[in-house]
Amino acid sequence: MKPDVVAVAVKGLMPTANGCAVFLGDDSKTFVIYVDHAIGNVIQLTLDGVKKERPLTHDLIGSIMLGLDTKLDHIVINDARDGTFFARIILRMENELGKKIVELDARPSDSIVLALQQKRPLFVARTVLTEAEDMTEILDRVRREQTEEPGEDEA
């Protein structure tokens, strides 16, 4: 992979008043993308490996891609402007007509779900990672609070 992108993983999810905070990052930095409740739930279901009774939209997209001999190669969160993140989905198509790479503009939230469902890599542009606020300490604090026993501070 090119040096202008960095591999990241979903490091955590946290419900918020207006949706869900998705913590993404590598060993050196964590940043947050805010998504709506529905997408946050789908990301959590995917991370937990929960099988759904009926296909959701992202499942349908995966089935369509399978039917068209198209594979998700990877996703890249490639830009951030005014607090809004942007992403690209990179698809590989191979059929009787030849090989083709298709790059699609997409919301990072949808891109993350598809990459997680298909176990494909997530990348972020190095400039986006550099400019994003480091939320590593916030994630660590949330994790500590979630593991503390109720009433532990009162003892």
Q: Where are the alpha helices (DSSP H) in the chain?
A: 37-48, 57-67, 108-117, 126-131, 136-147
pTM of the complete model: 0.87
Residue 17's identity, in one-letter code, is A
Of all residues in the chain, what percent carry a pLDDT higher than 90? 69
Q: Which residue, 72, 89, 86, 90, is CA-closest to 127?
A: 86
Q: Tokens 């494909």 belong to which residue?
A: 120
20, 40 Cβ separation under 8 angstroms: yes
- Dihedral angle computed from the Cα positions of residues 92, 6, 85 and 114, in that order, rounded to the nearest 10 degrees: 40
The C-alpha atoms of residue 105 and residue 30 are separated, in whole angstroms, by 23
Of the candidate CATH numbers 3.10.690.10, 3.40.1080.10, 3.40.50.10790, 3.40.50.300, the domain formed by 5-154 belongs to 3.10.690.10
12, 3 Cβ separation under 8 angstroms: no
Average pLDDT of the chain to the nearest whole number:
91
pLDDT at 150: 63
pLDDT at 147: 83
Q: In the chain, what are the domain boundaries? A: 5-154
110, 62 Cβ separation under 8 angstroms: no
pLDDT tens figures, 95-147: 787 899 999 999 999 999 999 999 999 999 999 999 999 999 999 988 888 78
pLDDT at 33 exceeding the cut of 80: yes
The C-alpha atoms of residue 4 and residue 141 are separated, in whole angstroms, by 30
